Structure 1
């Protein structure tokens, strides 16, 4: 089903004239390329391609998949996704009920990055660790210790679609939502036997019509860099650069880093937020020590908006 839907969506986005084919007849029953047209472009028989699209052939060679990727003009991420979902039996099953953690060295590294928001996530977009500024930037309304507790661990995808505070954080929420779903699709292809990931997709599909609609389009993108347009409830408007760095421990762990242009108002706002975040441990033990803005709590009365 996954392979069938993916191939159909990619056929639908290409018109015959775009790939050098002549479209005969005024009416076409399907949008985009027909199966026989794609088979012709890829150099395979229509019968073989039909069986592949219907999930009746799970042993497609690299050569065939590469030819289909070229014919469909897939991006490198989409090409890799095609290989993953065309041969799901080659994926390694993941241990059930495994509570993953960020490596101690990774935690030490992000703790040392006092003026850079840093968040470590797993392949389901679950937060494994964050430094004080990363927590203050993305989830100041949540317990900073939540990533270490089963049942409380935040998930960036769940937050984006189901948490109103997170939704309000992104000025370009629709763009952020598309990128988030595109990464989850890619991850689902890499980890087809991950029950927790499947459960997350099911939860979001049931509770967010926007997620369900995006998921049905089969977007695929690794989303390793870009920009984030935010409106933070404490420091206001922020335009930040974003990098996602794969970590050496494997398993799909990534470090998300955010930065501002030197000398910009965004850099000044990040420094202000860093100061408030750094003050948090010193006053967190006392009651009513923090300020709350739209549900986001940052200790220290020096932050005024």
Structure 2
């Protein structure tokens, strides 16, 4: 398996991919033309922009600076033009948390699977016309409402291990038809898994998921190697549903402050819009079809 399929790829890979995305003109450095031997900026150019020595920055890319200061990390984030998600990811890679060591259960059984918080389960029931899912660790789908099943498909028909947003997006051919902007959605999912990898160093289940996706999906392999980083927050999605037709839905992600490992993701159509009519028709149709 190539190194691009590892959970994080490390600080050096992240710095190199971000450096490769920049051109001298992007950061007000002179470009004297000619053929550049590396894609993007050189190490010495990033070092100059960050106000550190070339030797120090080189050691950063080699993972030989054990505890860089806040000032250095902030300077690197500015030099590399990182956004907030990427900056937080940089900090996690530069100062990786020690993987949690879980004590084995007294009865010798495997650790219990993550369970949806009761309050989130109740919220799902209170959203009868708004598709909503609860996403857990590693993008696992912990719970969903009837409207989500009507739009995305019946997660209950899948084995629990298969109920994962990234796995479905990359490995289920139907997702390429359902998502009008499949490539954008898939890239976002790869970027969120990168973020999860930084949050969860040493997570073996996450490593197995990444390895499987890299082995089975050329698209995932290619985008994972780019080291994208993006949190799942809010936005707009386009769908081509086989029954409801085209829909445009806004989505919002809500997380409890005391349990960021679970997120309620809700989808809504603009009131009175064709998408709103189509979604209500779909829910009515599925209720009738379901008996």
Q: With structure 2 as the length reference, what TM-score do the two structures score?
A: 0.89
Partner SS, residue 253 of structure 1: strand
Given candidates 23, 26, 44, the residue that maps to 1:36 is 44
- In the other structure, the counterpart of 2:121 is 107
> 2:142 maps to which residue?
128
Q: 2:18 aligned with 1:10, yes or no?
A: yes
Q: Distance in 1 between matches of 2:101 and 2:129?
A: 36
Give the aligned partner of residue 143 of structure 1. 156
Aligned position for 2:69: 61
5+ residue gaps in structure 2? 1-8, 103-109
Alignment of 1:259-278 (within 5 A): 259-278=268-287
Aligned residue for 2:249? 240
TM-score, normalised to structure 1's length?
0.85
Query: Considering only aligned residues, what root-mean-square deviation do their CA atoms show, in Å?
Result: 1.8
**Does 90-99 or 226-235 show the bigger shift?**
90-99
| Inter-partner Cα distance in structure 2 for 1:160 and 1:70 | 33
Q: Deviations over 1:245-282 (max 9, x none)?
A: 12345142111110001111111111122224445xxx
**Partners of 1:14 and 1:182 in 2: how far apart?**
19
Match of 2:100 among 93, 102, 112: 93
Tell me which residue corresponds to 1:169.
178
Q: SS at the partner of 2:267?
A: strand
CA-to-aligned-CA distance 1:185-243 (integer Å, 9 cap, x gap): 11111111211111111000000000000100111111311111101122111111111
Bigger drift between 51-60 and 92-101 goes to 92-101
Q: Deviations over 1:135-160 (max 9, x none)?
A: 221123x426x5xx744x51010001
SS of structure 2 residue aligned to 1:242:
strand
Structure 1 position 71 matched with structure 2 position 79: yes
Check conservation: 1:42, 1:64, Cα contact below 8 A.
Answer: yes
Equivalences, count: 276
Do the aligned residues in 1 keep the contact of 2:124 with 2:132 (CA within 8 Å)?
yes
